[in-house]
Amino acid sequence: MSKTTIAQRLAVTGALPQLRSQSVQPIHIGFLAPLSGKLQSWGQPGLEGCLLWQDRINRAGGLRIRGQRHRVEILARDSAGGPGQTRAATQDLLDQDIKLLLTLGGEDLRAAQDLLHEAGLLCSTLLPSDLSPDMPYLIAPAEPHPIYNVTGVAWMARHRPEIRRMALCSQTDRLGLPSLASYRAACEVEGIAITGEVLYDLDSADPETIVAQMLNGRPDALCWCTSPSPLVHALTQAAYAHGFTGQILSCTADGYDKLLAQTSPEFMEGFLFQFPDFDDPALSETGFFFNQPADFYREYTARFPGQWSAVSWEYPAILDLWHGAVEEADSTDPVSVLAAMKHGRQEHAFGPAQWWGADLFGIDNALVSDWPVVEIRDGKARIAGFEPLLDWLAQHAPVLQRHMGDLEQLWHQRA
């Protein structure tokens, strides 16, 4: 596959010649994720990133297929209203002949899985735990959640070996339980004792009670697993109020600047999570996203102040991969596009990658690469290092598989 898409060349050159004709028929791409409610932070910022991607593609003249350019239109629908609304939204998007559906995954995807399977539509999820052989056109090409969470524990074990005891908390849904399994596996591999686990229902979670229970075991570290962003903030503030002075780990730390103001820079120093800001110097040489991740970050934060999050780049990264595959296949047909995606050398946002997943998900439809461990230093998130996730999986996949099985999160258990 060509590693340079039309959008990337536009960013480098500033202008591109138009082809002789542009089709009046736009290419529709569906976006189905929470745009309201408690999980909005995993949907709305991603939609905003997609709108930047859409605008860049259209400024370049559109998507090129068979000698014509087509404008791209992102059709967004909110999945926060429950299974009925999600199914209705999915059917509405299918009726509008979308060529790709971007989803957060989890419960949203489950509600519409039969519709997508029948349609044979290429669909993406941010949760590889959604993958199964029953959905051959479902892919996870941006975020291998939650398996990358093991890298934070692995990095911590090497750099902070004095941390030997950790307490975990997790919501009991298809986002939370796989994450809990990953942290359990990582702690087992590193010989870190789990002093307690607090499982909570997202609708009734009380951060003060959760943190108090976690502290009962006198842990060296507290881990929020993949708690939603508002709860990450509330849990962190509760730990600060309790006078906790140990290590904190979390999958995400969106809006960490607000946490610095709500707690203190000293308290937040060394906070570990998994998602960098894209102006990070460690990304300056990457070939991802128009070859200019810092420019994307600046454009995003200027257009959507205060909205940057873990998902702001992930949905656009999927679109960029899809775009390159469409140009190679010269088609939006899902079979052809997926074959083009898997052809040749694979690249992820964070470097060379491999399609993986059969051991856990029954199918190699997750694109896995090294993953960054991010640390707050002097009030700014900075990449502390890139951990070799594929190497970890090669050594410890059976441990992860066992913990996934204990929580009934393996693909055949969910099926």
Domain count, the chain: 2
Q: How many CB atoms lie within 10 A of CB 212?
A: 14
Q: What is the CATH number of the domain that holds 116?
A: 3.40.50.2300
**Tell me: the pLDDT tens digits for 218-260?**
999 999 999 999 999 999 999 999 999 999 999 999 999 999 9
Residues 378 and 388 in one domain: yes
Quote the crossing angle between the two packed helices 107-119 and 83-95, to the nearest 10°.
Answer: 30
Asked if residue 278 belongs to a domain, the reply is no
Asked if residue 233 belongs to a domain, the reply is yes
Tell me the residue range of the domain where 31 lies. Answer: 6-145+283-369
Q: What pLDDT, on the 0 to 100 scale, is given for residue 12?
A: 37
Whole-angstrom CA distances from 135 to 29, 34, 301, 334 are: 19, 22, 35, 13
The last residue of a domain, from among 369, 386, 404:
369
Residues 381 and 364 in one domain: no
Residues 307 and 224 in one domain: no
Residues 137 and 34 in one domain: yes
Residues sharing a CB contact under 8 Å with residue 168, sequence separation 6 or more, in sequence order: 180, 183, 184, 194, 196, 197, 198, 214, 223, 225
Of residues 196 and 289, the one with the higher pLDDT is 196
pTM score: 0.88
CA distance 148 to 153: 10
Asked if residue 1 belongs to a domain, the reply is no
Asked if residue 57 belongs to a domain, the reply is yes
Asked if residue 332 belongs to a domain, the reply is yes
Mean pLDDT of the chain: 90
Residues 399 and 345 in one domain: no
Residues 265 and 347 in one domain: no
Q: What pLDDT, on the 0 to 100 scale, is given for residue 286?
A: 60
Residues 11 and 132 in one domain: yes
Residues 83 and 131 in one domain: yes
Nearest to 250 by CA among 276, 269, 266, 232: 232
The last residue of a domain, from among 334, 353, 369:
369
Residues 248 and 302 in one domain: no
CA distance 278 to 402: 35
Residues 40 and 99 in one domain: yes
Residues sharing a CB contact under 8 Å with residue 109, sequence separation 6 or more, in sequence order: 103, 116, 123, 125, 127, 130, 138
Asked if residue 183 belongs to a domain, the reply is yes
The last residue of a domain, from among 337, 354, 369:
369
Residues 256 and 165 in one domain: yes
Asked if residue 383 belongs to a domain, the reply is yes
Asked if residue 198 belongs to a domain, the reply is yes
Residues 201 and 55 in one domain: no
**Tell me: the pLDDT tens digits for 20-72?**
455 568 999 999 999 999 889 889 999 999 999 999 999 989 999 998 999 99
